[in-house]
């Protein structure tokens, strides 16, 4: 849901939706703003703050959840944008935050040299260590995910929720055209691995961490943004998302009309992150745990995605995962 700049220069605050949102927030309609676009939101980047407007009813409570999470970060060492205000206006839910120095990693990465890239990832490791030390309420979960697990629609398919994995096996079984034998094998596979998570202590996990949700400046991360999918889950759930981004970066564009980064430029990221945050990689049976998170994601796609082709592709990836192979095969850390 992260926006990015689509115009090169700021304009005065004349957009009617921006003016109405500023009025709802009690902010002056002064200064210049760059209008930006994202997957489900529109934003205006000003000199001192960023105004976001969410028009997608499926994520209507996203900003309320994000505000709750950002408030948890107060006083921590996690680099993030300060929340100024949030609420509902005539154009939908809105959120105003302070502006961070820099630009998204997605935008900065292609022209950064190797030394700068390594510095960025090392600072990311420090930021994630701080994030995972923030006290988190038990069961923290975005409202859309709570609704989906209760039988509602699935507008997104990550982050993984370990305790709901068998539920996704059953959901896949209710799909017409499912492979009963495959899902029987998946059921056994999942049950054999649940004990890997029995002693876990949930931490605050961003849940959607990739190049578009990191602001960087002068070789360091100045902010982690868009906490709308933050959850209380094991810390290596974060690693699952990051490694998937490294392996399949083209699938993580900032908007539907863009293309993600070239995966070959991210080949060294896992190793750099390992060096900066080794504890994240030191879980016993890490590969099996990461495979488990991947299985959750593919099961939710095969059970809930509205497009038959996407469900079929996910089912094929489930079968490949059962054989011990997935996107992790080509990564080095």
pLDDT in tens, 271-282: 999 999 999 999
pLDDT exceeds cutoff 70 at 1: no
pLDDT for 10? 61
pLDDT for 136? 97
User: For residue 252, what pLDDT band results from cuts at 50, 70 and 90?
Assistant: very high
pLDDT exceeds cutoff 90 at 95: yes
Mean pLDDT along residues 120-139: 97
pLDDT for 32? 87
Whether the CA torsion 296, 62, 245, 240 is positive or negative: it is negative
Query: Using CB atoms within 10 A of its CB, is residue 59 exposed (0-12), middle (13-18) or buried (19+)?
Result: buried
User: For residue 139, what pLDDT band results from cuts at 50, 70 and 90?
Assistant: very high
Q: Which of 206, 331, 320, 217 is nearest to 267 (CA)?
A: 331
Q: Which of 39, 57, 43 is nearest to 15 (CA)?
A: 43
pLDDT for 11? 67
pLDDT exceeds cutoff 50 at 88: yes
Strand (E) positions, 57-201? Answer: 83-89, 92-98, 103-104
pLDDT exceeds cutoff 90 at 249: yes
pLDDT exceeds cutoff 70 at 321: yes
């Amino acid at each position: 849901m992260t926006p990015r700049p689509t115009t090169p220069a700021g304009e005065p605050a004349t957009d009617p939706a921006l003016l109405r949102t500023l009025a709802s927030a009690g902010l002056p309609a002064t200064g210049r703003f760059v209008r930006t676009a994202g997957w489900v939101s529109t934003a205006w980047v000003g000199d001192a703050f960023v105004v976001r407007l969410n028009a997608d009813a499926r994520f209507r409570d996203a900003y309320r959840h994000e505000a709750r999470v950002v408030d948890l970060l107060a006083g921590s060492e996690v680099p993030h944008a300060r929340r100024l205000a949030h609420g509902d206006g005539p154009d939908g839910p809105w959120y105003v935050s302070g502006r961070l120095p820099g630009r998204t990693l997605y935008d900065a990465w292609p022209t950064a040299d190797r030394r700068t890239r390594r510095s960025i990832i090392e600072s990311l490791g420090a930021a994630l260590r701080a994030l995972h030390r923030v006290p988190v309420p038990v069961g923290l979960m975005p409202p859309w995910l709570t609704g989906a697990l209760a039988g509602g629609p699935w507008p997104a398919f990550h982050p993984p929720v370990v305790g709901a994995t068998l539920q996704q096996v059953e959901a896949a079984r209710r799909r017409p055209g499912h492979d009963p034998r495959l899902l029987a094998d998946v059921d056994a596979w999942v049950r054999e691995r649940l004990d890997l998570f029995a002693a876990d202590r949930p931490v605050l996990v961003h849940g959607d961490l990739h190049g578009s949700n990191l602001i960087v400046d002068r070789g360091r991360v100045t902010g982690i943004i868009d906490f709308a999918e933050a959850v209380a889950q094991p810390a290596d759930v974060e690693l699952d998302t990051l490694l998937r981004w490294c392996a399949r970066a083209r699938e993580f564009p900032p908007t539907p009309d863009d293309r993600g980064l070239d995966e070959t430029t991210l080949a060294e990221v896992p190793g750099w992150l390992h060096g900066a945050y080794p504890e994240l990689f030191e879980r016993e049976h890490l590969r099996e745990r990461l495979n488990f998170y991947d299985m959750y994601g593919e099961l939710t796609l095969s059970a809930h995605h509205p497009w038959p082709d996407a469900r079929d592709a996910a089912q094929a990836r489930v079968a490949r995962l059962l054989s011990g192979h997935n996107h992790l095969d080509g990564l080095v850390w």
